[in-house]
Amino acid sequence: KLENKPINAISNVNFFFESPKNRFVEIIKEQVPWCISRERVWGTPLPIWNCTKCGMKEPLFSRNEIIKRASKLPDGEHFELHRPWIDNVVINCSRCNIAMIREPFVLDTWHNSGASAYAGFSDDEYKSLIPAEFLTEGIDQTRGWAYTILMENVIMKNKGQSPFESFLFQGHILDEKGNKMSKSLGNVLDASKLLTENSVDAIRFYFMWKSSPIESLSFSLSEMGSRPYQVLSTLYYLHVYLIQNSTYDRFDTKNIDLDFVVKSKYFTMIEVWILSKLQSVINKVTLSLDSCRFNEAAKDLEEFIINSLSQTYVPMSRDDLWDDSMETLERRNVIYGVLGYALYIIDILLHSYSPFITNYLYLLCFKHKEEILLESWPKFNPELVNTEVENTIDKSKQIVSLVNAARMKAKFKRRWPINRVVICTQDRNLSESAELSEILKKQLNSMSIDVKIVNFSNYLERVNFLNKENLVTLKAKLRVNKIAPRLKNDLKNALESFDQVDFNDLFNQFISKGNFDLKYLTGETTLSTDDVEFSYEGKTPYIMMESEQENVVVFIDTTRSTELISMGLMKDIARNIQQLRKEKGFVPTEILSSAYISGLGSDDLLSLENLKSELAYYVRVKQIIISPDKLEDVNYKEIEIDGRKILISVQ
């Protein structure tokens, strides 16, 4: 009898997730009788012969046993063990010497697969390989292979021993709408076509990224071509960015000395931040992969590649790379070292998801070994962790996001410099760290930033502070549902009177004495803070955005002087010239001879003339040639900037 042996066998098995484990346990507890034979022709013939006369049954479990007992072997000793050849063998009954007949049925195929733990191994191989370290199958196999391999091993060993140490049950692949794929419905994906027409790396990453392995996955080609593709594309171009810039400075990415980088005086706060973030990623990805949380690891890699590296570290350090003087070479080498080290680690972490692109990029940029698979798995380095800097930079990113939202509200391009940004926050690091303040100025593209340290314990305190700083215009309205029951017929008069109230005076009285006496045509009432709903908006020329969750409010000054307008135009033109360089196939680091600009109005001509050297620096040319009219022998491209039609060229 099996008794509790199967349950005991899986007591120490790691199923990674509770729900499939519980399902499997319940199925084992049922111990439903299993008919191991099938009425089919093809399969494993039952090795049992029956005597039609005396009813004796004789099992013969090996070829040698059959040969010894056979009275006839029409196909010789090397006969095929399947039907119909096995039935040509004649076995005589050992009691009455009558020809026996083999059982006509075959074994259930699940019996075959369940025997895989021992059927294909010698005794020594079985001892060294079983229990298997890891097995995986679809969730339907809780009643299939997972069940049969366990039960047969328990029967063969006659004890509660599992043939596997861990088992991952996985969900199924469904169509985009969450329906089961079926040929009759016409929603089946042709795997060959899918792999031929799409990146295998993208497909693999998408499967792992989309959902938890125990959940069914609704497969969408369009979704696969969006964020998952963006992750791999961004990773590729980050490597290109590293190679193009490091090659210009003859920096060898194959021999990065991280100790030199960390000890350099040019190792700044943003390098501390990105390396600390990288250690978090190493730790999270390692733990997630060990516990089969593949989607969580994929999301952590996505976050680091897109948000931390591409959208934060590269923009923060780009200006330092643009300065190609010898005096700043060590600073540039620090950036190459940090970016290179981060990409090297990410290539290894991502390799199991997308092996082809990561191996290609590894060999292109690093090639410490002949193949990336020969590299050791990255180890978490606590010495590179700085949670204080991580939190500070992360909070500054939230501020950048709020300011960008305010820019969008004001219809200000991010390229346009703004006069002033006011930041109201609880984070003292923003005001005490000169380095962080300078980083923020660059990120916000602002001429100045003004950090005001606040500690709002409630909404009224927030409103009071912002009002005193003259940053907001107050608004207020009566909560009709609160005052209507007590004012009744006087409600209309009270509302009309409230519209004439000075909201600043109203608010100040609430702050000073906690209430406000409202007089109206037919009487008077005392209003509490529960009776009035305050709101506010940025006072002209400010546009405001806030995050109540983070207790941060930002204001951007929308005043645009002639100087700011000129700088904005210059950066718009610079972006278009950089795009033209790209279209013509010039390497970003290459310094070209000239850039030509034509078609500007007289005011724009004059303002841009004073910014020629800065424009030349941005677009990496030796000289800027500005002319009111087109020059001969120059092949111009027409662009449009805020309604202006401008001609540009590079050569």
CA distance to 143, 146, 558, per residue, from 170 (Å): 13, 12, 54
Q: What number is the average pLDDT over the span 449-472?
A: 89
Q: What number is the average pLDDT over the span 433-451?
A: 91
In tens, the pLDDT along 265-310 reads 999 999 999 999 999 999 999 999 999 999 999 999 999 999 999 9
Q: φ and ψ at 26, to 5 degrees?
A: -65, -40
Q: Is the pLDDT of residue 233 over 90?
A: yes
Q: Is the pLDDT of residue 433 over 90?
A: no
Q: What number is the average pLDDT over the span 372-394?
A: 94
State residue 340's pLDDT score.
97
Q: Is the pLDDT of residue 197 over 90?
A: yes
Q: Is the pLDDT of residue 42 over 90?
A: no
- Which 8-state DSSP code applies to residue 183? T
Q: What number is the average pLDDT over the span 163-180?
A: 92
pLDDT classification of 165: cutoffs 50, 70, 90? very high
Q: Which residues pair with 50 in a beta bridge?
A: 57, 101
pTM of the model: 0.85
Going along the chain from its start, the domains and CATH numbers come out as 5-36+110-172 (no CATH), 37-107 (no CATH), 224-385 (1.10.730.10), 390-456+540-557 (3.30.2320), 472-538 (3.30.720.200), 562-650 (3.30.2320)
In this structure, are strands 532-538 and 173-174 parallel, antiparallel, or unpaired? unpaired
State residue 316's pLDDT score.
92
Q: Is the pLDDT of residue 1 over 80?
A: no
> How many other β-carbons are positioned within 10 Å of the β-carbon of residue 9?
23
pLDDT classification of 39: cutoffs 50, 70, 90? confident
pLDDT classification of 334: cutoffs 50, 70, 90? very high
User: With b meaning 16 or more CB within 10 Å and e meaning fewer, what string describes 104-140?
Assistant: ebbbbbbbebbbbbbeeeeeeebeeebbeeebeeebe
**Is the distance from CB of 343 to CB of 239 less than 8 angstroms?**
yes
State residue 218's pLDDT score.
94
State residue 303's pLDDT score.
97
Distance (Å, whole) CA 206 – CA 386: 32
Distance (Å, whole) CA 414 – CA 411: 9
Q: Which residue has the higher pLDDT, 41 or 386?
A: 386
What is the average pLDDT value for the chain, to the nearest integer?
92
**What's the distance, Cα to Cα, between the start and end of the chain in Å?**
87
User: With b meaning 16 or more CB within 10 Å and e meaning fewer, what string describes 257-266?
Assistant: eeeebbebee
Token digits of residue 129: 């390989």
